[in-house]
Amino acid sequence: DGYRLTVLGYDFLALKALCTRNVVGSVGNQIGVGKESDVYVGGDPERNDLCLKFHRLGRTSFRKIKEKRDYHRKRHAASWLYLSRLAAAKEFAFLKALADRGFPVPRPVDVCRHLVVMGLIEGDTLCHVDHVDDVGALYDRLMSLIVKFGRHGLIHGDFNEFNLMLLENICKVFQEKKKEEEIFSSPEKCSNALDIPLKVKLSIWMIH
């Protein structure tokens, strides 16, 4: 006789622990699905909005995660649940470090197993924005953000319209966990970091 821990069971364990800590009080609708995660809206016991990100390493669309990321750390074997836990811990550590240094990232709240809890941001991802009043100012702000990452010894790795959110002219950055060992030697090397297609009315705004 034995037992097998499923993904939903792992979700329950994480939520139960966070409820016991009085971090999470409710779980709402799913608001995002990615190659590596499921995202839900939630709330704390005082009904303040939260964002709940469940890491889902091992999806069919990203089966080579063990080769492409450093979570495995040369282990001969590791379950996808365990790797998801490592990914969540790493993302939370990056979120906290960046937030402490003034980067525009979601507010880190807590992490448990494969679940990262952060403040909910009300805004639009750039991939859903078709008009910006001051395109040049937005472009300059995004390029300055890339340079700021570089000066702290970081390359985001997925700095694109899907991981940037615009709210009242403020950009927030998501998925801050890629390639921390890479460093910009000069701001000029950022020139190829931004993909700039033409959008509606020739607005140049887009920057994964």
Q: Tens-digit pLDDT profile for the chain (208 aa)?
A: 788 999 999 999 999 999 999 999 999 999 999 888 999 999 999 999 999 999 999 876 555 665 666 656 666 567 899 999 999 999 999 999 999 999 999 999 999 999 999 999 988 989 998 888 888 999 999 999 999 999 999 888 888 888 899 886 566 677 654 443 333 334 444 444 444 333 322 223 333 2
Angle at 12 between CA 10 and CA 15, to 5 degrees: 110
C-alpha 50/C-alpha 48 separation (Å) is 7
| Domains observed in the chain | 7-120 (3.30.200.20), 124-200 (no CATH)
Say what the pTM is. Answer: 0.78
What pLDDT score was predicted for residue 66? 57
What pLDDT score was predicted for residue 96? 96
Q: Which long-range contacts (CB under 8 A, 24 or more apart) does 198-206 make?
A: 199/130, 200/130, 200/131, 201/131, 203/130, 203/131, 203/132, 203/135, 204/135, 204/139, 205/126, 205/129, 205/132, 205/135, 205/138, 205/139, 206/126, 206/127, 206/160, 206/161
- 158 as an active site residue: the answer is yes
At 37 the three-state DSSP class reads strand
What pLDDT score was predicted for residue 183? 34
Determine which one of 49, 133, 158, 195 is catalytic.
Answer: 158
What pLDDT score was predicted for residue 35? 83
